[in-house]
Structure 1
């Protein structure tokens, strides 16, 4: 069976988006409400038509996750602290 890298990328972006939302909540006390809505709805859809349908049918709904996956949306101060942090054993 051939791997569908598009669907794999969407799923990984969904995980990255959820992680970024947690980070926003932890550091700022609030997060992107639209991205949160998409992420919460993704766990409710038990029989989606497609991987994209899980996230509301649009790649734009995963913008935060895709940017996080590419390292684009992480603030410079957070990136610096990640580089300077010791690895977790």
Structure 2
């Protein structure tokens, strides 16, 4: 793109090349943060994330399996929807530049 201003070069060349990688990395980071509840378990006092509340349902005497199953389904909805929506970008970002 001879004679293009820097903004146009970034907008038309750099951003389209970065998009798959950024979306893929964002999805992976979100999934790691979504399922990482150790920090919430350590730092929470009364208001706990859903994953911490599910962990607290594991009592040695009484098991609340229906409640735990419902909570697991609720916590899995958001990551599954995000993976379905971003799967094309995730695959393209992870295989970008690979030899076919």
TM range (shorter): 0.3 to 0.5
Greater relative contact order (Cα < 8 A, sep 6+): 2
Instruction: Tell me the TM-score normalised to structure 1 length.
Output: 0.33
Higher normalized helix content (fraction of residues): 2
